[in-house]
Structure 1
Amino acid sequence: MPIESDHRGSDSPYIARVWRGRTSGQESLTSVATSNWELVFWEFEGAVHAALRGPETIASTARIAGDSEAFGITFAHGTSMPHLPIARLVDAEVESPYADGRRFVLRGEEWEIPGFESAEDFVDKLVRADVLTRDPLVDEVVWGGIAKVGARSVQRRVVTATGLTQGAIRQIDRARHAAVLLGEGAPALDVVHRLGYYDQPHLARSLQRFIGRTATRLRRRDGDEPLSLLYKIEGDERF
């Protein structure tokens, strides 16, 4: 397998997922849409890089050349960096001006590059330094909770913290959920009913836009280029 990956959950309210991956050879990767932003570190041809990658609103194809290793912290909805408006990161990334094997620059300061098992400690340092903040209401309403403030205030706070509307987040995350179910062998019609799509053409359009795959290709998977990280979230009751 030219692309290998591992990921885990986190008990930090600031983190949605921690992941790491390795590539070998020259491959293309389908980068599926995601409603979360992340901090990514990777090594390629002996050089270390660090970047903030924003939410992706459509699926795209990325080229991967040579051997490389990557590690990332995917942040929970509502987590943000006040010095960098999240709107600047939607469908984009901002690379650190400096990174080596040990340290990188963020907000004009040097930080030690964390590891797969030390992501929470690193995020705690960012929180204590006011580099990271969190609006708990955003994560709550995205997961289906009922806010105690008006709808306009909710929408404003969601967009400020995530760069996306609640509707966009729901569409992206529903498509990702559908892709996981189809990859596990669920019939397309069952996915339509379970996740609240109008019909199979509605599901097909969503998959093509956000995942870059048809339901048939997701079920077969043979011969397809790899997908970026997809994972099943236990207890997801939004759909």
Structure 2
Amino acid sequence: MYQERPSAAVDGAVLWTREQTADAPARPVLPDGCMDLLWTPGRLFVAGPDTRAYAPGEGGPRRHAGVRFAPGTAPAVLKVPAHELLDRRVDLADLWGARTARRLTERIDAAPDPAVALEDVVLARAADAPFDPLLREVARLLDDGTSVAAAAGAVGLGARQLHRRALVGFGYGPKTLARVLRLQRALALVWRGAPYAGAALAAGYADQAHFAREVRALAGMTLGDYCASAKSETPAPSGSSTTA
């Protein structure tokens, strides 16, 4: 079972938990433009931005908790450019040092609500790491369906300047981010009951076939199969989770 809720303390972040039964198949986790700080018993690690579906390994940990950062905000807290973590899962010890990671892992292992304990860690780190408002605005514009050129103009950057800032904040260029956010918009509409064709058009695809091709390209499965596997495990989410 997957559950999530907005963070009350970290701007734009989502707290999530996932407990998976031993016989439940692991579904692919789609790119969502986000990065996550994750916990499983005895381990803290970071999920970088994905350009393709991430397939959790069979037989891995069945209990997870995480803080999913809003697009463009994680690098300020983690102190690492997003592109260095592209399509990677990295132990927190490699970013913050073994001693710090061990101390935080022990604290979260003992917490009654690991997601809230993770939120406390992020909040402490965010105090001296203000988020870049320009990147937040770019993500908002692209999520609204604004073109990359129009988004660059709206924040006063040239195409090359925006691309450089995007690599640091999102892990990839704005065109890739726009593609990922469009897919998430369409899937959110499907979750709310929209037919595939209507969701495709509302999200900015040419038609349902275009939407289906993007799901196959990014998830490695058909649109119907992905939606069926997701609904079998979780309530309707506002985004996607990223697990080990």
Q: State the TM-score, normalizing by the size of structure 2.
A: 0.75
In structure 2, relative to structure 1, the CA distance for the partners of 1:230 and 1:134 (3 Å cut) is: farther
**1:37 Cα shift?**
0.9
Segments of structure 2 that go 5 or more residues without pairing to the other structure are: 109-113, 142-150, 240-244
1:17-50 deviations in Å (ceiling 9; x for gaps): 111111221433222222111110102xxxx111
Identity %: 23
Counterpart check, 1:167 vs 2:159: no
Partner Cα distance (2:3, 2:231) in 1 = 18
Residue pairs, 1:108-119, within 5 angstroms: 110=100, 111-112=103-104, 113-114=107-108, 115-119=114-118
Counterpart pick for 1:77 among 71, 85, 94: 71
1:115-145 deviations in Å (ceiling 9; x for gaps): 32344432221124x5x45211101111116
The answer to whether the Cα contact below 8 Å between 2:3 and 2:234 also exists between their aligned partners in 1 is no
The answer to whether the Cα contact below 8 Å between 2:53 and 2:219 also exists between their aligned partners in 1 is yes
**1:85 Cα shift?**
2.6
Higher RCO structure, 1 or 2 (CA under 8 Å, sep 6+): 2
**1:157 Cα shift?**
1.2
In structure 2, relative to structure 1, the CA distance for the partners of 1:52 and 1:230 (3 Å cut) is: farther
Partner Cα distance (1:208, 1:230) in 2 = 20
Give the secondary-structure state (helix, strand or coil) at the position aligned to 1:34. Answer: coil
Counterpart pick for 2:131 among 127, 130, 134: 134
In structure 2, relative to structure 1, the CA distance for the partners of 1:42 and 1:13 (3 Å cut) is: closer
In structure 2, relative to structure 1, the CA distance for the partners of 1:78 and 1:36 (3 Å cut) is: same
Aligned residues: 216
Deviates further, 147-156 or 161-170: 147-156
The one-letter amino acid paired with 1:188 is Y
In structure 2, relative to structure 1, the CA distance for the partners of 1:28 and 1:121 (3 Å cut) is: closer
